Structure 1
Amino acid sequence: MDVPELLESASLLVPEETATENDLTVRDIWNYLVHDEWEIALGLLEDLGDGHPLPLAFWAKLAEAADLLRLERSSAWCHWRCSEIRNGMVRADLTLRPAAEARRTMPIAGHGVLRPMWDIGHLSPAGERAVDIALLWVEDMPFLEPGGRATVRLVPLTPSQWKGAVG
């Protein structure tokens, strides 16, 4: 499929009554598609999907369109959303310790490239503390500085380990 076909196909997966924070709907997005404003249409479809749960096929089509348009940030976000649907997602407030108090002195990347270990209360068979791994996405920031605070999205690499572990 080419970009317009992917975006049109994705838009058909959005319920007609769905709207963005600015009250834009799928009908508004079709105007951008008709005028070959694909990047704008892609961004608006992402906005629609961020406010409402949409199927994996929606995000997969957006990811493919973003890949074809070479829009790295949109591509990463859409692939991320596919991972959330497949593996589940946990939102959390994360505060990093200041550089003077921690080993980390560099900011962390915010777009799903880190796979930190998390203590979510599991114990090893020997009764010792065990950690679990989840990908990390920092919302609304390209990176998080030491001492900084942000809302993050975690996608577990082993979803079964996370069931019931966080609330």
Structure 2
Amino acid sequence: MDVIALLEAASLLSPEERATADDLTVSDIWDHLTRDEWDVALAMLEELVDVPPPPPAFWEDMATVAEQLGMERSTAWCRWRSYETRYGVIRADLTLRPASETWRRTPVTGSGVLRPMWDIGNTAPDGGPALDIAALWVEFLPCLAPGGRAPVRLAPLDPSRWLHLRPGQVITMYEDRSVSATAVVLETRRPTAAPSRQGRPPVPERERGPPGPGHQLGHSRVNPARPAVMTPTRGPRRLSDSP
């Protein structure tokens, strides 16, 4: 498979031999593709090209190509987008608490590895708070340091429990028994494709850790002690599936 052919087939790129002055071609995004920044390149294309959202199969094929090329972040991004087409998009403006106010001393990995707990307003049968699990993707940044702020995307373990979210709603993130971050919901979008039978956050099985204390069916009655962890130079003008 060839990434440029996939983009052209999805009408996200115009073949250079037929492109007009207003069309996007591979020349416009080449540097991002070769630097393992497909999230930047594809976001640019989706924003500027007026075509229907690509189906899950497109993102799965793109993930296969990225993996064959050894581009780990781009592989994770394409799998993330495949998940979003089936279960919807949740974007938020996240602010991490500074290192002086939390146990975290290192940056949060931005590529969907962290799977913290969230207070999104759900309640347990006894009326107490129920926390929900969602993986975290930091947009256009490899990581986010304590005290930092950035737009993020969330991939819930149980998407059905997040359907009530609306822009402007404030939610809180937990990595231990104290609040580690707050976020304001920026955008929610319903799926553009039929969900699969069981929704799972888009993280390879080998990166997922065991669930933390209290995890059950995608939510928890109590705050966990520790969250589960989900865990070329400019060359030819085509990226093929050759490593």
TM-score bracket, normalised by the shorter chain, equals 0.7 to 0.9
* Separation of aligned partners in 2, 1:150 and 1:91: 11
User: Pairwise mapping of residues 1-167 of structure 1 onto structure 2 (< 5 A)?
Assistant: 3-4=1-2, 7-14=4-11, 24-25=23-24, 28-29=25-26, 39=34, 43=38, 46=42, 47-49=44-46, 53-167=53-167
Q: Relative contact order: is structure 1 or structure 2 higher (C-alpha 8 Å, sep ≥ 6)?
A: 2
* Separation of aligned partners in 1, 2:88 and 2:73: 21
Q: 1:9 to 1:142 in 2, by over 3 A?
A: closer
Indicate if the aligned counterparts of 1:88 and 1:156 stay in contact, CA closer than 8 A: no
Encode CA deviations 1:98-133: one digit per residue, 9 max, x unaligned. 111112222111100111111110000000011111
* Separation of aligned partners in 2, 1:45 and 1:94: 23
Indicate if the aligned counterparts of 1:139 and 1:151 stay in contact, CA closer than 8 A: yes
Encode CA deviations 1:64-84: one digit per residue, 9 max, x unaligned. 111111111211111111111
* Separation of aligned partners in 2, 1:39 and 1:107: 25
Q: 1:74 to 1:131 in 2, by over 3 A?
A: same
- TM-score relative to the length of structure 2: 0.55
Q: 1:45 to 1:60 in 2, by over 3 A?
A: farther
Q: 1:102 to 1:163 in 2, by over 3 A?
A: same
Indicate if the aligned counterparts of 1:93 and 1:150 stay in contact, CA closer than 8 A: yes
Q: CA deviation at 1:24?
A: 4.6
* Separation of aligned partners in 2, 1:119 and 1:39: 38
Indicate if the aligned counterparts of 1:29 and 1:45 stay in contact, CA closer than 8 A: no
Q: 1:154 to 1:51 in 2, by over 3 A?
A: farther
Q: 1:23 to 1:116 in 2, by over 3 A?
A: farther
Q: How many corresponding residue pairs?
A: 152
Encode CA deviations 1:112-157: one digit per residue, 9 max, x unaligned. 0111111110000000011111110001111111111010000111
Q: 1:95 to 1:23 in 2, by over 3 A?
A: farther
Letter in 1 for 2:58: F
Letter in 2 for 1:94: L
Letter in 1 for 2:71: L
* Separation of aligned partners in 2, 1:132 and 1:140: 25
Provide the identity percentage. Answer: 46
Encode CA deviations 1:17-67: one digit per residue, 9 max, x unaligned. 8xxxx9553xx339x9xxxxx859x94962424656322122111111111
Q: 1:51 to 1:120 in 2, by over 3 A?
A: farther
Give the root-mean-square deviation of aligned CA atoms: 3.0
Indicate if the aligned counterparts of 2:12 and 2:46 stay in contact, CA closer than 8 A: no
Indicate if the aligned counterparts of 2:13 and 2:26 stay in contact, CA closer than 8 A: no
Letter in 2 for 1:8: A
Q: Which structure is higher in helix share? A: 1
